[in-house]
Structures are given as C-alpha cells and as structure tokens.
C-alpha cells in the first residue's frame, strides 16, 4: 500500500483540480484545495523516490496531474486576465510550444514524453505561486516572471526532445 501513495496523491490532485472549478475562486476553501493540489504535486515524486516506487506509470500520472491542474487554473484565471491580451497571447504561445514538444516526442519515440527538468519544476512552482500573490502584485508584473520562465522551459524541453536519441523523462536540463 505504501508504494501506491504517490499514485494516489497524483489521482487526488487530478480530482481536486476539477473540484476547484466548483469553488468560489480565491476564497478560503479554494485556497485550501489549491494548496493541497500543490503539496500533492511536491510530495508524490519525493515519496516515490523515498519508497523506491518510482515507475513510468507514476511519472506519466504525475505529468497528467500537472496538465489538468494547469488547465483548470488557466480556465479560472482567463476571466482575470482577459483585459491583458498580450498575456493571453503569450500563454497560448507557451501552450503551442508544449503541444509541439508532446507531438515531437510522440512521433520520435512513439510515446508521450514529459520531461521533469529543473526548469519545468521551477516553472511549476512559480505558476503555483501566482494565485497566492495575484491580489497583492499587479497582474502585468505577476505574469511576466512565470511566462518568461515557462517560455524558456518550453523551449528547453523542445530542444531536448529534438536532440535526444532516446527519451529520458528525468533529465535535469539541456546542459546536464
């Protein structure tokens, strides 16, 4: 049972991400569920490594959980950022790069390949902080940092997928 905890956390993150859609955005319960989702993302991989239960399935499940969580948060944030067209265009550009990476990895390796690079992890953490800070930092400034890092990590991921002969989901970065 202990070895299933990481996968259970990933599944719970997916379920709780969808629950966020039914909560009042940026209210107390919303933030409690949001923080649970973020903590489950940080803990699943850590627990998997500590219990020696790292698996390809768990890695893919974690990546699916990340994608669902990000998609739900984008859906929640779109009404907040609609006045800022450049941010929406930037986010769409990042999403297109990510889709190109997924498609490239799929056609090259015949499997969906999500990379767990340091830049992707940093991007996830910074994006996680956005809803926690959006009421205290101007939204123009708040989105510049995560969009910049997300752009760099998306480009890095695409370059890695193009350059690698075999997929390495746990590669740390382009120069590692």
Q: Where are the domains of the chain?
A: 1-81, 83-176
Residues 6+ apart with CB under 8 A from 151: 90, 93, 94, 97
pLDDT by 10s per residue, the chain, length 176: 778 999 999 999 999 999 999 999 989 999 999 999 999 988 998 898 899 888 889 888 998 998 899 899 989 988 877 667 888 899 899 999 999 999 999 999 988 888 889 998 899 899 889 889 988 888 778 888 999 999 999 999 999 999 988 887 778 888 77
Q: How far is 96 from 91, CA to CA, in rounded Å?
A: 9
Helix residue ranges per DSSP H, 51-117? 56-81, 85-109
Q: Is 143 exposed, middle or buried (0-12, 13-18, 19+ CB in 10 A)?
A: buried
Q: How far is 81 from 130, CA to CA, in rounded Å?
A: 12
* Token code pair at residue 148: 């910049």
Distance in angstroms between the alpha carbons of the first and the last residue of the chain: 34
Q: How many CA atoms lie within 13 A of 132 on its CB side?
A: 10
Q: How far is 27 from 47, CA to CA, in rounded Å?
A: 30
Residue 56 gets the label, from left (phi > 0), alpha (psi -120 to 50) or beta, of alpha
pLDDT of residue 82: 67
Helix 56-81 and helix 5-20, axial crossing angle in degrees, nearest 10:
20
């Amino acid at each position: 049972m202990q070895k299933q905890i990481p996968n259970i956390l990933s599944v719970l993150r997916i379920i709780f991400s969808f629950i966020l859609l039914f909560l009042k955005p940026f209210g107390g319960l919303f933030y409690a569920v949001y923080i649970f989702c973020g903590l489950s993302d940080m803990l699943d991989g850590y627990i998997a490594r500590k219990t020696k239960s790292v698996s390809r399935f768990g890695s893919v499940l974690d990546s699916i959980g990340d994608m669902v969580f990000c998609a739900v948060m984008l859906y929640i944030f779109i009404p907040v950022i609609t006045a800022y067209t450049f941010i929406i265009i930037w986010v769409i550009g990042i999403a297109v790069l990510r889709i190109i990476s997924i498609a490239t990895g799929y056609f090259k390796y015949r499997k969906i390949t999500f990379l767990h690079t340091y830049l992707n992890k940093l991007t996830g953490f910074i994006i996680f902080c956005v809803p926690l800070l959006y009421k205290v930092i101007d939204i123009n400034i708040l989105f510049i940092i995560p969009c910049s890092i997300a752009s760099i990590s998306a480009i890095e991921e695409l370059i890695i997928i193009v350059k690698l002969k075999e997929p390495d989901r746990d590669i740390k970065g382009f120069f590692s």
